Chains A and B, each alone.
Chain A
Amino acid sequence: MEDWRRIDIDSFDPNSGRLTNDDLIPPYAHHVTLQELQPKIAQLRSLATSGDMSSATKLATEDPPYSADANTKAVYFQAVLEALTQVRQADIATIVKQLSPQQQDVLVKYLYKGMSLPEGQRQGGILLAWFEKLTQSSGVNPIVHFLSDRRTV
């Protein structure tokens, strides 16, 4: 028993039930499917191509598919990333100011997600520009929310 600190005491207790990833998923009432999301993705694409970036950003950060599965989230993220990277640098600050605090919280989630994926890293400069303008207008609030929020995008 010399190395007792390394003993996994939970394996001796069948009721210990360590937290699993499933325990950390918030209790969603309904799970969004890709089919339900398609109209929104199409609308987002058309707004982005028509150049109405303010509306596109608002739409992208409104009611994101938290409860969807990983595949659906990836498809939606792709559409959001396309929209975000089409914005001209000079317009970012204005658009960020038009967002509600809730929308800003969602935006920062997509920025972090973008920076964590190869397709986002290719557009790293513009994501960082978004991030800079966001922290200038709202301070650390959206970041603290992002760090502690279990609803992922």
Chain B
Amino acid sequence: MLDTSKSVLSVFKLVKAPIYSHCFSIDRSLLAITCNTDCLVYRFGGGKSPQLIATLPDHDKTVTAVDISIHGRIVTCSQDRNAYVWEPLSDGSYKPTLVLLRINRAATSVSWAPNGYKFAVGSSARIIAVCYYEQENNWWVSKHIKKPIKSSVNCLSWHSNGILLASGGTDGYVRVFSGFIKGLDTKEAVSNSPWGEKFPFGAVVKEWYNGSFIHDVEWRSNIEKLAYVAHDGTLTVADSVEQIYSVNAPEGLPFKSLIWINDHEILCAGYSCHPVMFTEGSNGWQFSKNLDKVGKQSLPQSTSEDGTDDEENPTFGMSALRKFKQLDLKGRVTAAEQESAHENAIVELRPFEESNGQVTQVSSCGLDGEIVIYAV
């Protein structure tokens, strides 16, 4: 464990492969991560490093996403076009049930509905599969949302009412669908919803065009707002009456994930390898602070001595070249160069600790195989 700054609480280097997705159980005692074609489950907490307690091996292609329901069921989905629901058994092992998604492309994202009785899977087959358990047949049934999705679905988010399902994808649209399942959901859950009157399954409740790949979308249900991040490096917040705020990433690099900290704060993270906080003020949403950002003053400034460095803007493009120049000509390894806790892009943020509707700690996973916990 290394301590790089006050905002970084702990860093766990778990695997030598990218972690595309991670999830904690409700009581934060279990951590599930994706690792190549497996899903790994760790016992977590007590100040110790995570202990591997189970490997969920049934997928035969890269596992793309994992989620844990409020009942402790783990769902995984993979590029092998399948999803598995893993039922925890009393001896600590897991019993897999295959879910036939009926898609002909990779599954990309998965999310349990808040009540834990259904989940949605996004896929590159331009389909969202909403899956629920059918007692009579002992079988997970999947119902498809197809229209009008034009390309891969990257991300999904359930509203706390369990019916509205937000999705974003590579066609540049953010859409809100109805994931209403007869017999499972009640109409009372969406009475007085500002998003509409009727919610038949698969109906498009709302859509916004952004134009670039949508990487993540997240509801803030109590204030009926939706936030999303896209590949043009923007964070956008929208609500049911078409009020839209868009704000640029301060470093220009796109975000891969976002979470709401409270009603007026959003934390984003992505290719800049450290989380970035945005705050809603009287002028709309604005950048407020960086977490775990490596300060510019800590970068080596010794390059001007040889006089060959004629670049005018050190933040643009040349830092890698300079690093190798140092290494090659002078044999100097710039060990003084401080890295942020994540050494590669952060791909997913999750709330880790909450009190009174305010997230106080968040966890992240990255392409460097690390899980990092930050204090907000």
Chain A residues close to B by CB (< 8 Å): 9, 13, 16-17, 19, 23, 26-27, 101, 135-136, 139-141, 143-145, 147-151
Known: A101-B248, A148-B213, A150-B211. A135 touches B313 (CB 8 A): yes
Q: Is the CB of B104 within 8 A of A13?
A: yes
Q: Is the CB of B253 within 8 A of A150?
A: no
Expressed in whole angstroms, the minimum distance between the Cβ of A82 and any Cβ of chain B is: 28
Q: Is the CB of B212 within 8 A of A149?
A: yes
Q: Is the CB of B230 within 8 A of A148?
A: yes
A149 is contacted by which of B126, B151, B232 (Cβ under 8 Å)? B232
B211 is contacted by which of A135, A139, A149 (Cβ under 8 Å)? A149
Hey, which chain A residues are within 8 Å of B126, CB to CB?
Answer: 17
Q: Is the CB of B252 within 8 A of A139?
A: yes
Q: Is the CB of A23 within 8 A of B171?
A: yes
B256 within 8 A of A: no
Hey, which chain A residues are within 8 Å of B254, CB to CB?
Answer: 144, 148
Query: Which positions 32-91 of chain B face chain A at CB distance < 8 Å?
Result: none
Q: Is the CB of A145 within 8 A of B172?
A: no
| Band of interface residues on B | 20 to 34
Q: Beyond the given A26-B211, A144-B254, could you list 5 further A-B residue pairs with CB under 8 A, ordered by the A residue number?
A: A27-B209, A140-B251, A141-B249, A143-B252, A148-B213
Q: Is the CB of B104 within 8 A of A141?
A: no
Q: Is the CB of A150 within 8 A of B212?
A: yes
Which partner residue on chain A sits nearest B126 by CB separation?
Answer: A17
**CA–CA, A40 to B241, complex, Å?**
34
B188 within 8 A of A: no
**CA–CA, A64 to B211, complex, Å?**
16
B231 within 8 A of A: yes
Q: Is the CB of A140 within 8 A of B253?
A: yes
Expressed in whole angstroms, the minimum distance between the Cβ of B198 and any Cβ of chain A is: 25
23 A–B contacts, CB within 8 A, in A order: A9-B104, A17-B126, A19-B151, A19-B171, A23-B150, A23-B171, A26-B172, A26-B211, A140-B252, A140-B253, A140-B316, A141-B233, A141-B249, A143-B252, A144-B252, A147-B232, A148-B211, A148-B213, A148-B230, A148-B232, A148-B233, A148-B254, A149-B211
A135 is contacted by which of B212, B251, B316 (Cβ under 8 Å)? B316
Q: Is the CB of A139 within 8 A of B315?
A: yes
The total number of A-B Cβ pairs within 8 Å is 59
B306 within 8 A of A: no
B136 within 8 A of A: no
Q: In terms of DSSP, what is the predominant structure of the interface of chain B?
A: loop
Expressed in whole angstroms, the minimum distance between the Cβ of B132 and any Cβ of chain A is: 24
Per-residue 0/1 for B168-186: is the Cβ within 8 Å of any A Cβ (1 yes, 0 no)?
0001100000000000000
Q: Is the CB of B253 within 8 A of A144?
A: yes
**CA–CA, A16 to B103, complex, Å?**
11
B312 within 8 A of A: yes
Hey, which chain A residues are within 8 Å of B150, CB to CB?
Answer: 19, 23
Q: Is the CB of B151 within 8 A of A148?
A: no
Q: Is the CB of A141 within 8 A of B248?
A: yes
Hey, which chain B residues are within 8 Å of A147, CB to CB?
Answer: 231-232
Expressed in whole angstroms, the minimum distance between the Cβ of A75 and any Cβ of chain B is: 24
**CA–CA, A136 to B171, complex, Å?**
32
Q: Is the CB of B209 within 8 A of A144?
A: no
Hey, which chain A residues are within 8 Å of B209, CB to CB?
Answer: 26-27
**CA–CA, A74 to B230, complex, Å?**
29
Which partner residue on chain A sits nearest B170 by CB separation?
Answer: A19
Per-residue 0/1 for B296-331: is the Cβ within 8 Å of any A Cβ (1 yes, 0 no)?
000000000000000011011000000000000000
Expressed in whole angstroms, the minimum distance between the Cβ of B299 and any Cβ of chain A is: 16
Known: A26-B211, A27-B209, A139-B251. A144 touches B233 (CB 8 A): yes
B231 is contacted by which of A16, A140, A148 (Cβ under 8 Å)? A148
Expressed in whole angstroms, the minimum distance between the Cβ of A79 and any Cβ of chain B is: 25
Known: A144-B252, A148-B231. A139 touches B212 (CB 8 A): no
Expressed in whole angstroms, the minimum distance between the Cβ of A150 and any Cβ of chain B is: 5
**CA–CA, A17 to B125, complex, Å?**
10
Hey, which chain A residues are within 8 Å of B231, CB to CB?
Answer: 144, 147-148
**CA–CA, A51 to B212, complex, Å?**
37
**CA–CA, A139 to B211, complex, Å?**
22
B172 is contacted by which of A16, A136, A144, A150 (Cβ under 8 Å)? A150
Hey, which chain A residues are within 8 Å of B315, CB to CB?
Answer: 139
Which partner residue on chain A sits nearest B151 by CB separation?
Answer: A19
